[in-house]
Structure 1
């Protein structure tokens, strides 16, 4: 059996990192909301969904952000910048999350109570660095979904980890428990993206 060239497969291969955008194109906010709603179907550790977003569309704010983000052109020319943040206090939503799971029939009450109890025993006692690592891992999962969904909607993206995270947190007055992880530029490509090669499977995989 071979992998069928499905629609998802085609979207995956069409998605490329784009750094040149049509600065005049503006994505409607309603579409950005739809995109992020769909992206939140991504998996996360204990389903605690530690991702938070700051969506930057204002031209003046993007100009300010460009100075924090190594003067990258796409910060200003993309229709929006989606800043993916990690919440290291994600466990504070555990009761809401598992109560909703129970109410929607995804688990019984005993499982709900057990998950809440175990999560509140574990997560608040973890070092902040571990909580940050968890949030960063989960942010990677939802960031990929954002980019694939964006391509499916006819938009292009590029992720940026090269920015001053301390300066970002200070500029946007983030609470201590919110950690900037990655920026995603989204908009309409002005020029085609470059292609990129991949390492051979034999060099990166070992079957045992």
Structure 2
């Protein structure tokens, strides 16, 4: 079925509204809980984000038990949204995600997206390359992919009527220790998610001519 122009314009506007309405919310309604089913759907939609070699290195630790949010509170420098929000999602990057390449590319074959011999070649090349990366390069890759998935997650949440705030201000070493996170996982950020108790503050943005340049960088 061909999408009508009216339908396309409406869906485009809805998408733009999601982007424009997203705010970093720091005050949440503590009575609102997100069901496990809806949280799973939010995460599944977020994982449609792109990643290096489609290795999908993101891993999520969803913290929604009150006692665990209380444990996280001092680690996150006592930011109150940690305990008020429905959950805090710790976005982690798996520097050994290449170990899932066989599963990932086999899925592509089963879905009819890739011939089996091509998948085999991709698996060999991917494992060989990613397993030999210097640690700092591997970490940079999962930081980049972690940023992509985090933004997508926040937009999915807004589309479903929830609010979020990304949090880089927390003690990563203490977080890893408190939640027994394996050293193969790199903490990228925390994302509080729930229903706003108070709207997020509107903010301004630099004019586009200050941040976007065509074909050549300006002389400083």
Shift of residue 152, structure 1, vs aligned partner? 0.8
Alpha-carbon distance between aligned partners in 1 of 2:104 and 2:141, rounded to the nearest angstrom: 17
Alignment of 1:36-47 (within 5 A): 36-47=43-54
Alignment of 1:97-112 (within 5 A): 97-112=104-119
- Find the residue that maps to 1:26 and give its secondary structure: coil
Alignment partner, residue 128 of structure 1: 135
Structure 2 unaligned regions, length at least 5: 1-8, 216-220
- Find the residue that maps to 1:138 and give its secondary structure: helix
Query: For 1:131-180, what per-residue CA distance to the aligned partner results, in whole angstroms no more than 9, with x for missing partners?
Result: 11111100111111110110111100000011111110111111110111
RMSD of equivalent CA atoms: 0.9
In the superposition, the TM-score normalised over structure 2's length comes to: 0.91
Alpha-carbon distance between aligned partners in 1 of 2:64 and 2:122, rounded to the nearest angstrom: 38
In the superposition, the TM-score normalised over structure 1's length comes to: 0.96
- Find the residue that maps to 2:32 and give its secondary structure: coil
**Where in structure 1 do 4 or more consecutive aligned residues deviate above 2 Å?**
none
- Find the residue that maps to 2:131 and give its secondary structure: helix
Alignment partner, residue 218 of structure 2: none
Structure 1 unaligned regions, length at least 5: none
Alignment partner, residue 119 of structure 1: 126
Query: For 1:23-67, what per-residue CA distance to the aligned partner results, in whole angstroms no more than 9, with x for missing partners?
Result: 111111111011001111110000000000100011111011010
Alignment partner, residue 213 of structure 2: 206
Query: For 1:61-112, what per-residue CA distance to the aligned partner results, in whole angstroms no more than 9, with x for missing partners?
Result: 1011010011101000001000001101000001110011011111112221
Q: Aligned residue pairs: how many? A: 205
Query: For 1:117-140, what per-residue CA distance to the aligned partner results, in whole angstroms no more than 9, with x for missing partners?
Result: 111110000112211111110011
Does 2:93 align with 1:86?
Answer: yes
